[in-house]
Structure 1
Amino acid sequence: MSKPVVDAAAWMERFGMLPPPGGTILCAVSGGRDSVCLLDYLWRLGQERGFSVAAAHLNHGMRPTAQRDEELVRRLCRQRDIPFYTEKVDVYALCDAWRLTVEETGRRARYEFLRRTAASIGAAFIATAHHREDQAETVLLQLLRGTGPQGLAGIPPVREGIIRPLLDTPRAAIDAYIAAHDLPYVTDETNLDTHYARNRLRLEIMPQLLTINPSAPDHICRTADILRAENDYLDAQAAALLPDTGTALPCHTLLSAPAALRPRMLRLLAERLPVGKKDFSAAHYQALEMLAQTGGTLSLPGGAAAVCRQGTLTLAVPAVISPEETPLRPGDNRVGAWHIRLGDTPAPGALAVRPGAWSVRPWRREDGLTLPGSRGRRSLKRLLAERGVPPEQRDAVPVFCLAGQAAAVPGVGVDASAVPEQPGNTIYIQLF
């Protein structure tokens, strides 16, 4: 048998991609040339280095040949006694549910499947078959879209348990490996569709660049390596200026930092949000820096928001609330993000009210309360402000209504009309 023409062992050692003895790498296998090469290579390397490989294939069902692809991967694994895991998904249905493009939905579904499978089998890593030309194409696409050093650093060799053993391997070496080992593979017909930007770059633009410099992919990848190292250093400098936890940052800390670090500080802060930093752009970071100077509020992607008040910039995701008035029953109630308990036993912080038809909803601008001992009805907006509840947090405050009228608000009080008329005839409303 010919000597393998792919040798990624040194690359894997350099970036810590090799699992411990007895460990497992889960290989993402579409059935295409690159992933078939990676699966076979890891299977052979594992026999030498004492680790095992498993294969995962997600059947999107988007092409008539999808079942053919799954069967090819299944057959390869059976021949090598490689554990094989597969699932089918309806990408178009997920598009509607997730409100993403077909491409974004397919990618998200694939990585969710890979991570779920890796967790179930205890795999140390998930391996994907990105190679050197993929890296060069990614860098060029990022450049065309407009990006900074992070985007120009391209695909990272390792990130969050995902490894790319072939990232330093040229496509020609993969072709030679496939031929040397007589490996079958399938071709995705959509890879020839030049309506997709990456396909057009690969099929039309890259050949032109190679006529100018045959080593263009190598040089582009070398530039990405340099920028990745520099980007990691700058990120470390930016991270050192942030609080250890949370999504609040003193404005003076941000504005006194070097200008080159400010967008990085804001990006790292945004990554702490439950929605992550997806869809954040340079324009959002510029707006956040301006907000730190002027104060106020700003809407952000993913339903997040920024507030600058009293010298602190805070990023937050509003609580999920119920948009409609919801009746409450005795015992525990789950309404949106609220956990509410109605009972007849006193509890710390509970609101003591008269029995009746109680319900809950978000506050409204017209809401008001007449608190016992007060000189009359006052707006809930003013009452919340007096108690230090900022505008951006008011939507998360539940208003308890008696017979449809605002009657009790945690942290504010109970309307005089809802105060128990006699001892022992009391309901206690507790918010968790």
Structure 2
Amino acid sequence: MTEAVDWLRVRGIEDVECITPDLAGVPRGKMMPAKKFTGNTSLALPSALFMHTISGEYPEETGEFRYSPNDGDLKLMPDLSTLSAVPWETDPTAQVICDLVDTQGVAVGYTPRNVLKRVLSLYESRGWLPIVAPEIEFYLVSKNVDPDYPLVPPIGRSGRQIQGGQAYSIGGVNEFDELIDDIYHFSDAQGLEIDTLIHEDGAAQLEINLRHGHPVELADQVFMFKRTIREAAMNQNIYATFMAKPIQGQPGSAMHIHQSVVEIETGRNVFSEPDGSASETFRHFVGGMQRYVPAALVMMAPYVNSYRRLVYGMSAPTNVAWGYDNRTTAFRVPPSDPAQRRVENRLPSSDANPYLALAASLACGWLGIVNGIEPDQPTDRTANEDGGISLPRGLLEAVAAFEAEVSFQEVFSREFVGTYAGIKRGEHETFMQVISPWEREYLLLQV
């Protein structure tokens, strides 16, 4: 805190935002004067804040989902390593990501950052550390103030509405030069490291790749990047959206996750043997992904809209196959030297909470390792050409699979499984109250 006081003073910081991700990955917290932040102030949020749906409603208690009887406080514990500037604010402002503990100082098991830390502790018990590198896709769209109207691509620098089919197009990126400049400037001011930025195949669809590192640090970066990109887009009078499927007929947006595991003491990649061949640990990690990811999919595809991306005929995988440099599989092993051997999970969508998506993916690999699950044979064919879908087809099916997997009670905690499933059921009930244009189009005058 002494260093933080100096950091705030040198930069003339007036206000500090103490934020934490809720189960949807939305920043929640409190803002206060910098002097109060450094004055040993106790910060708290109500526990029910982490039990409401994305629409702000509180679901009925069902299954293992229960509210705290007194809606007691959860204490915000700032992680000072995340202290950074808020570059889009007009007054000098800082932000810090917080963990949540109860009134006894015990980590709250159903909050996202703590869920990820719990999974990492399993690896640490073997002297291991997972290394991850997320890739986040998102769309730029024209401002949309009426949700009854479909989203449309924005007007670019050329004065024309952006079209699709511009994967890796430099011209496509240049259409938004001022926005890209803002993203880079905002990122630099916060200490966020962008590895590469490309235009994807969708109309005004971009992708940012982050450098590999510690899972909590990378989840923090994705959490902050989403906020940063939205603010940069607002500065240009457009929206940035991380919906999995924002525009009908266009590709969905993914959050691909590259994963490896190293020994903490030596830094050796445990996915490779000394002779460079794939290790048993690597095979079992892949086997665990194949076996458990369908049950954990709701943590990687958390909304009704997420399953519109995971359909046959689009760019997303609809299988649990794996292969070497095969982008049609759910689990791709990119070309690399043995020290960089890793597994890319291509199933998560960009609407996922990064802490929960990383926790789910790593937990599935862990369960494969400890249970010695062998994968099937890698495939070099187009894995999704037969139209089959070997994943839950919708939110309720995914929730049922999630609750039915007994091993998740241990790796994530029973408290989290019950809370998360209850919230997702509540969101589905809210969705079912909305009548869609498809229903009006085909049912209104024909049934």
Query: TM-score category by the smaller chain?
Result: under 0.3
Q: Which has the larger radius of gyration?
A: 1
TM-score, normalized by length of structure 1?
0.24
Higher helix proportion, which one?
1
